[in-house]
Structures are given as C-alpha cells and as structure tokens.
A = this chain, B = another copy of it.
C-alpha cells in the first residue's frame, strides 16, 4: 500500500511491519527522558516493583509501534498522520530482548464532513512480541488526503 489516497482504502485491507528488537539500553534511555520510574530505569530496582523486572514504558512501546507503522507497507499519501487513537491498551509489558512487529487492518473509511479535502481511515493495530502475544492494541484514526484535492 504505497502513496494511497483516501479513495484507495477499503475496510479489510491489512498491513504488516518489519521486526524490531528491544534492548535494555533503549528502554532506559527512553525512560530517563520521558518516564523516569525505577521499573523502567534499573534492573535491580525493577525486581522490587509490580513488574518484577525491567520493562519498557508503555509510551516507549507506543513510540516503537509508530516507527514500525512508518516502516510497514502502509503508506498513505502525504504521510502517516494521526488525529489520535480511540483505544490504546498494553495487555502485557515489553521486556529487554523482545522482538516486536505490528499487524494492522483497516476497520473504517469515512469522508470528512467538515473538510472536503480529507478522509478518515481507522486502523486496528496489534503490536506483537516474538511469541505472538499482543503488547499493544490501538485503533488510530489517520487523516488521509482525497485524490486531486
């Protein structure tokens, strides 16, 4: 799906990303800037936390998911621009060494009433670990230009 305009999307289209391996160092680097809590910063401190070990911030998982979507075979014309997501869940944490990929499906295609040059394409995205277990479920709404607009 490359350079797709609103008119090119239909419900049921699927896309898939490459994989990304999560490192302990990346987990800590993200956490130092954006989520400095013991269970994201230090293996020893994390042992005494609710997680029992070092885990990625959910917002790190969300950011890695965005990168995987950008690197996937989903390529809306004008870029992958989201207005938000209806749902964002982290059913289980991401650990160092996890290998993530994203699988997505178009679940809604709707012209904008207020802006005739764009449409909304909702996608349901699962971020899966190497065991096929979901670590993030989201349903972002993409803003996609109409052809010739």
Interface size, A (range): 35 or more
Within 8 A of B (CB), among A71-89: 78-89
Task: State the majority secondary structure of interface residues on A.
Answer: mixed
Contact A50 B81 (CB under 8 A): yes
9 nearest A-B pairs in the assembled complex, by CB-CB distance: A84-B89, A34-B63, A59-B63, A37-B79, A59-B66, A34-B67, A85-B88, A84-B88, A35-B66
Can you identify 29 A-B contacts, CB atoms within 8 angstroms? A30-B63, A35-B66, A35-B67, A35-B70, A36-B70, A37-B70, A37-B80, A39-B79, A49-B78, A49-B79, A50-B78, A50-B79, A50-B81, A50-B143, A50-B145, A58-B82, A59-B59, A59-B62, A59-B63, A59-B66, A60-B63, A62-B62, A82-B90, A83-B89, A84-B88, A84-B89, A84-B90, A86-B87, A88-B88
